[in-house]
Amino acid sequence: MPSPTIGRRARTAYPVLLLLAPVLAAGCATTRPGVPPGGAAPTPPAVWATADQPGLPSATPTASGPARPATSSAGPSVTAPRAGLRHVFPVRADDVAYHRTHGAYPATDIFADCGEQFVAVTDGTVLEVSRTDRYDKRGPQGPENGGLSVALLGDDGVRYYGSHLSVVTTGVDAGVRVRAGQQLGKVGRTGNANNVCHVHFGISPPCTGRDGWWIRRGVLWPARYLDSWRRGGNREPAAEVTAWQRRNGCPKAP
């Protein structure tokens, strides 16, 4: 039975997702019976920078011009990986929940009302942005599943990916530097979100030059890191990501 902390739309959608899980194994917003979602995330401190809060810094793009629907992650230069960076819960909302499992591959669906803030997990550089929803349920399942999305390469050397967004924040483009807690977009239901407001959250290595959707969508189970961050802890996934890449390299498309 879902946790009482699940948002209004998440609570309504939960039984439907259980029935659709076998069909949506390659997609998102799936779950497994008997596994409760996580609890509510704390309200972040006011010092977190967001593009929507007056007086706080916003992302500064490296070049002006029209927004790009998608940008390769191979271009931006990044700093050497650093340990001990601050990590924060990726969705800022009073009513939020997440599942510990996901269909077909390791990732997490974080449920909150549409319009809530999706923020940078840690300091880093934006790798890739999609501002156009190209998903077609009649087309190939995988490449365009995320709808509107942002991929961030943290200064810890880990890629953090959030998709199904309703909007990507103005000025958040490939190559832009962002800080932990800075708004990257807003919770939505674009792509194959099955009309449920949530963020698909994935953790993976950057695999520069081979950044396909099958890696970007997630290779590690994020729940234990989310558990830490929502309690104000700072559990770091860099060691697990490094170990995964040593074992698997940058695999080709499935």
Collapsing DSSP states into helix, strand and coil, what is residue 138?
coil
Average pLDDT over residues 155-169: 97
Confidence of residue 142 (pLDDT cuts 50, 70, 90): confident
**Sign of the C-alpha dihedral, residues 89, 131, 80, 123?**
negative
Which of 24-38, 81-95, 175-189, 195-209 reaches the highest mean pLDDT? 175-189
Confidence of residue 41 (pLDDT cuts 50, 70, 90): very low
Q: What amino acid is encoded at 180 in this protein?
A: A
CATH label, 1-254, candidates 3.90.1150.10, 2.130.10.10, 3.50.50.60, 2.70.70.10 = 2.70.70.10
Asked if residue 129 has pLDDT above 50, the reply is yes
> What is the structure's pLDDT at 28?
65
Confidence of residue 89 (pLDDT cuts 50, 70, 90): very high
Residues in the chain, how many? 254
Rounded distance, CA 2 to CA 10, Å? 9
Q: What is the pLDDT of residues 164-220, one digit of tens each?
A: 999 999 999 999 999 999 999 999 999 999 999 999 999 999 987 666 899 999 999
Confidence of residue 117 (pLDDT cuts 50, 70, 90): very high
Pick 242 or 58 by higher pLDDT.
242
> What is the structure's pLDDT at 94?
94
Asked if residue 145 has pLDDT above 50, the reply is yes
Residue 18 contacts residue 37 (beta carbons within 8 Å): no
**Around Cβ 81, how many Cβ atoms within 10 Å?**
15
Confidence of residue 27 (pLDDT cuts 50, 70, 90): low
The full set of domain ranges for the chain reads: 1-254
| Cα–Cα separations (whole angstroms), residue 241 to 20, 94, 204, 249 | 30, 30, 6, 11
| DSSP one-letter code for 19 | H
Average pLDDT over residues 115-144: 94
Average pLDDT over residues 91-99: 95
**pTM, 2 dp:** 0.73
> What is the structure's pLDDT at 101?
81
Residue 202 contacts residue 223 (beta carbons within 8 Å): no
